[in-house]
Structure 1
Amino acid sequence: MAVDLAPLDQALETAHLPALSAALVHLTGDLGWLRPEWRPIYTPLSRGETGVSEAEQAKMRAAAKVAITDYLTGKRPMAPIPGPDAVRQMMSFVAGADIPDGYGDFLSDELALDGHSSKDPNWSSPQLKAAARRLNVLVVGAGMSGILAAIRLTQAGVPFEIVDKNADVGGTWLENTYPGCRVDSSNHMYSYSFEPNHFWPQHFSTQPVLLDYFRGVAARHDVKKHVRFETTVEEMVWDEPRAVWKVRLKTPSGHEQVEAQAVITAVGQLNRPRYPEIKGRERFAGAAFHSAEWRHDVDLTGKRVAVIGTGASAFQFVPEIAGKVASLTVFQRTPPWGFPVPHYHEDVPDGMNWLMEHVPFYDKWYRFWMFWMVTDGLLPMVTADPAWKGPPTAVSELNLGFREMIAQAIAAQAPDRPDLIAKVIPTYPVGGKRSLLDNGVWIEALKRDNVELVTEGISEITPQGVVTADGQARDFDVIIYGTGFYASKFLWPMKITGRDGADLHARWDGDARAYLGMTTPGFPNLFMIYGPNTNIVVNGSIIFFSECSVRYILGCLKLLAETGSAAMEPKREVHDAFNIKVDEGNSLMAWGAPQVTSWYKNEKGRVSQNWPFALVDYWRATLAPDPKDFVLTKSAELVG
């Protein structure tokens, strides 16, 4: 089918030219597209301005128009895939910096220019296919990670079943429906690497769009036929002689027990809303709800509304409701850092979507550019200097400079409100807590005449409203809690009993740990996605981690099949050494600083959420399981 070339001029005006240059190398086979005068020089936290003069950009667009027209009209066939040396040059060109040693194979794998990636299961031999069919896996959760696990298990030929507490797939994007809910990683990166969407309506899409994406992926891969909805896991018990997990399910019709040789948990970290422990909270006479359980039956129009908490959800829904309520009082304990992202709510230009759809490899190189710019490139800015003697508001000289840049961007939004700016610029280091994306709507909402930001602590909640520590009482019609989740209660409230009757939550004792965030000694064939220490702060999309984890878990199942083993679990010394390394790494990050408190730290004060190293390190560590890291048990050994 002929492609309409009418949008090409507009598309070129919106193109990210370095990514387009790399795509044109694919079309033409000519490395001359990587001209030194077209090589970008990026500005931190910009939209991707390249620093290339307008005159040179015009030359590049004119040449690109000819090459793209020749390809799309059939005058020029696609050139062969560039070799490794050429790809490395293309990477450095698009990144605007030489790619460091150790990143080449990692980034090549992410690009998957030949259509293949290490994340694709490779269970091709007849013997392995037969062994795969003898496995039986239960996946808990049908959100982003559960859908991913289902796709990879299907590709490997492993029988499985999914259970999910909800009535449909989608996980967090099904549950969270508060006004303004959207992703804070660019959608061209917050999407499966093997399922690109060339028609994202916005750079950072809203909840309905994201839910449609995951539903669409699930439909294309026929995932729903494997899912039992409105079904929860109450208890899992490891049956040692038979090497299976006995799982008690709560279904719409009662209780049921199923068995699985392996269990993959894909329940996420932020899935159980947390209400604050405030005296009298249950006495409030008006409507009260958590942002993750938004009451759409409560009309906020003309109401006196209190919002408790100023985290990620409040940052999004407060600007949405501020204009319709009579009054809005926002109670803040600590302010969030908001990275300046002016295009946070902007549409993706039609021309960019046209390029994504019609110019081969442009989407891959655009994703590569974003991946590089917002992943490991930002990590040094939140890394602590052990010799730092500066103010406790930073953890290094680089972190201090990063802080000053962002603080200036925040202050510039309200030059006439020094009282407000004093409340919204954090006193903790950038990276200490979850940073948000700021396009100005948060400060604009707080500046409204009907909005008040209160930093005084709350002493109690009464039937009429809220009383702060200074004794002031404020009356409200509605209270909305934007107070986060029980992030550190991994796999809660499931009861999990492993080898020798060990209770997983008792073993963890409020301090969840796992090898590579996925496996733990004493609990064979139990694999976690988004487990302890697999959260990322400034460096990328959590989908990257889920794809790495699922690849590794499929590798574990493959190891069971290849060796004829019935069970596997990490060796205690391997597990402990890994966690020592992670703890040491987290102690050198802004979120591990002793003056910082956040949900990244558990009740023991340990950072149980975050991965402190580069993404390349997790990618390399999860390429495939090392049999030497595990205790592999044969069926006969279990029975005997």
Structure 2
Amino acid sequence: MSETSEVAQVDDVYWRDEYTPITEDDAFLERIVEEADLPSLLTALAALTGDHTLIPAELRPPLPPVDTTPPANGGMSEVAQARARELALPALKRVRDEGLTRPRLLEPEEARAIVDFITGGASAEDAALMMHELDLVAERPGTPTWHIDEVAPDRDFDVAVIGTGMSGIAAMYRLKQAGVRFVAFEKHPEVGGTWWANTYPGVRLDTPTFGYSFSFAQRADWPHAYAEGAEIEAYALEIVDRAELREHIELNTEVVSMTWDEATATWGLVVRRDGVERRRRFHAVIAATGQLEKPNVPEIPGQEDFRGVRMHSARWDHDVDLTGKRVAVVGTGASAYQIVPSIIDRVAHLDVFQRSGPWTVPAPNYHDRTPRALAWLSDHVPHYGQWFRFQMFWSARTGRLHTVVVDPEWDRTDSVSATNLRVREALTALMREQWADRPDMLDVVVPAYPPGGKRMLRDNGVWADALHREHAELVTSPIRMFTPEGIVTADGEQHPVDIVIYATGFKASDYLDPIVVTGSRGRTLEQHWNGDATAWAGVAVPGFPNLFLIQGPNTNYVVHGQFHFMIECGVGFTVEAIHQLLRRGAGSLEVEQEALDRLVAWIDRGNAERAWGQPQVRTWYKNSRGRVSQVWPYSHLEYWTLTRGADFDTDFLLRPRPEARR
């Protein structure tokens, strides 16, 4: 068993060899143990000291299914919590007294034993998946096991990465590990993708911060329980710098078009910078443009006649002063939910135009800083923060998925099962409390659609508080038209407005738009999809060889899952596909149509059995044809298994290199 470790041994740019020594007294440590997340603390102490009596089977956290709010300490009973604290306190004192400040790598058997404690005895498949997230094992799934210098040392092979948001950063990181040459094109002045573009007031995560990180960049010193947008942008910048990726990035450079050349088995890209277009050639392209890039601005009569300011939340104009102005926010999704409470005290009047109200789940700590115990332990107990993240990842694998599964015998439209109805009633009760003084508003604020039909937002009361203000109005009559002075709704009411904020989301199904992508059959990607985007695992499209989409069709989560894991699985498949090309000496690789059709049929069946797939639910998860083209309806494990188990001999077509055909 390894007693020490070096940065080079661990695939994590945030790895720490040394943690801050503990100098605090026993009373302080006792308070920390009282406040700590106990499963994470016991796990961290057992991994650090090698004392597995700290993780007895009877203290395994039960992690009950979460309907609305996760229980503290993984659902451990009061008796179990008391026993856990009895074990943890002397172990924490030992860490202090023996000066244990360095993490140690775990042998596979020990790692499996600790994983079993957190997971309650995971299956072999789940345990293998969890090793992907565990820093303390020397060889982790996800890290490329090959290098181009060993596989194809004499072959020229260049990859273009389009976009440097989270997906692009992951792609660059793994390509560099495999030694594959690449250039990343970013149309903005800096990396970060949606976190660079979205700077509106109140922007922050609506998932807990510790769950929003890569397996290879497990930051543990997050300032807030739900990170502010600037913190996530800083995270992206820091990964790029720590991994030394910046030299591969061309900023302020937009990809205009890309065309597959069968004769050379390459993609010809036209890129534009400072108004000048250049042509570049690459053997493969990774499109990491994301789903949340192109703003969705609704077309409403009279918009161009409006004399005030109009802006989308993702294109916020910080030169516009909202102070004392009459402001309209169009939409009640995630961005509106953050903007409205953030600007309510500045504006003279606020109209919020709602098509349907959002479901929200309680999060009293939504605007809080990271709890003291979590921050202190992450700095003083080697790997505590990573174990906290690890447990969060495990519980997110299915999350609230059980609450949105459709009961085929269910005959209500406001819910899809008895469990879903239970969630509906619990969340409605919370709204009744928030609107106790205005019971007439319940018909307006309580959604008619089933919980989980759309993304559920985090609620600490600020939304209802903002809408309670005398100078705020929730407007439910549809917008009919703009006038030079404001907005007219279908009921004929005129709303004087100085500034309109579109909080209307993105055109998520318009992948790669406006880039013109022409494949091997002379058709553009837009023509090929014809309004119904599909891709094998969201990554590969027939007729478009050596093109890999990250976070492509059907790779979004609604009530479960972890965003970065989905990205890493897609990138993992992509890097392995490049490995197959190089190892086999092939020129191109593309998925067979039959393999894609089988997969899409399976995904469609899954989405049809979820709340968001029901006909009464209107959501951006559905494309213009009514098909759910955005969401992955299954768990982590299914996507992990799919992308890691790709059959390159059966489901993919590999063509010889052009020189081999002559």
Q: TM-score per shorter chain, which class?
A: over 0.9
- After superposition, residues 281-430 of structure 1 pair within 5 angstroms as 281-389=303-411, 391-430=412-451
Contact 1:333 1:455 in 2 (8 A): yes
Inter-partner Cα distance in structure 1 for 2:58 and 2:467 = 45
Q: Structure 1 residue 67 and structure 2 residue 91: aligned? A: yes
Q: How does 1:43-54 map to 2 (within 5 A)?
A: 44=66, 45-46=68-69, 48-50=71-73, 52=76
Are the aligned partners of 1:123 and 1:129 in contact in 2 as well (CA < 8 Å)? no
User: Do residues 185 (structure 1) and 207 (structure 2) align?
Assistant: yes
Q: Which moved more, 1:84-93 or 1:482-491?
A: 84-93
- For 1:9 and 1:214, locate their aligned partners in 2 and report how far apart those are by CA, in whole Å: 36
Separation in 1 of the partners of 2:546 and 2:572? 15
Gap change, CA 1:327 and 1:217, over 3 Å in 2 = same
**Residues 274-285 of structure 1 aligned to structure 2 (within 5 Å):** 274-285=296-307
**Does 1:527 find its partner at 2:551?**
no
CA distance in 1, matches of 2:505, 2:431: 24
Is 1:119 aligned to 2:169, yes or no? no
Moved more, 499-508 or 86-95: 86-95
- Distance, in Å, in 2 between the alignment partners of 1:303 and 1:458 is 20
Aligned counterpart for 2:454 among listed residues 433, 441, 444:
433
User: Is 1:110 equivalent to 2:133 in the alignment?
Assistant: yes
Distance of 1:592 and 1:368 partners within structure 2: 30
1:223-622 → structure 2 map (5 Å cutoff): 223-389=245-411, 391-622=412-643
Amino acid in the other structure paired with 2:207? S
How much is the aligned-residue C-alpha RMSD, in angstroms? 2.2
TM-score by length of 2: 0.92
Q: Percent identity?
A: 42
Describe the superposition over 1:594-619 as per-residue Cα deviations: whole angstroms up to 9, x where unpaired.
11111000001101101111111101
Residue 513 of structure 1 deviates from its aligned partner by 0.5
Cα distance in structure 1, aligned partners of 2:572 and 2:353: 43
Cα 1:319–1:383, aligned 2, differ >3 Å: closer, same or farther? same
Residue type at the aligned position of 1:282 = E
Show the 5 A alignment for 1:110-259: 110-124=133-147, 126-128=149-151, 130=153, 134-259=156-281
Deviations 1:562-588 (A, max 9, x none): 000010001111111111111111111
Q: Is the 8 A contact 1:305 1:477 kept in 2?
A: yes
370-379 vs 585-594, which deviates more?
Answer: 370-379
**Residue 420 (structure 1) shift:** 2.2
Q: Cα distance, 1:92 vs. partner?
A: 5.0
Tell me the number of residue pairs that the alignment of Structure 1 and Structure 2 aligns.
Answer: 637
2: CA distance between counterparts of 1:460 and 1:372? 48
Output the CA distance in 2 between the equivalents of 1:398 and 1:89: 33
TM-score of the aligned structures, taking structure 1 as reference length: 0.95
- Report if aligned partners of 2:132, 2:215 keep a CA contact under 8 Å in 1: no
1:94 maps to 2:115: no
Structure-1 residue corresponding to 2:3: none
Letter in 2 for 1:488: S
Once the two structures are TM-superposed, the CA of residue 77 in structure 1 deviates from its matched residue by 9.8
After superposition, the C-alpha distances for 1:183-229 in whole angstroms (9 at most, x for unaligned) are 11222110111212221011111011111111011111122211111
2:29 counterpart of 1:5: no
Deviation at 1:124, TM superposition (A): 4.5
Tell me, what secondary structure is at the counterpart of 1:111? coil
Q: Read off the aligned partner of 2:241 and give its amino acid letter.
A: A
**Cα distance, 1:36 vs structure 2:** 5.9
Alignment check: 8 A CA contact 1:568 1:633 kept: yes
Give the AA of the match of 2:21.
V
CA-to-partner distance for each residue in 1:399-436, whole Å, 9 max, x for gaps? 11122222222222221211222211111011111211
Does the Cα contact within 8 Å between 2:341 and 2:463 map onto a contact in 1?
yes
Partner SS state of residue 314, structure 1: helix
In structure 1, C-alpha distance between the alignment counterparts of 2:43 and 2:504, rounded to whole Å: 44
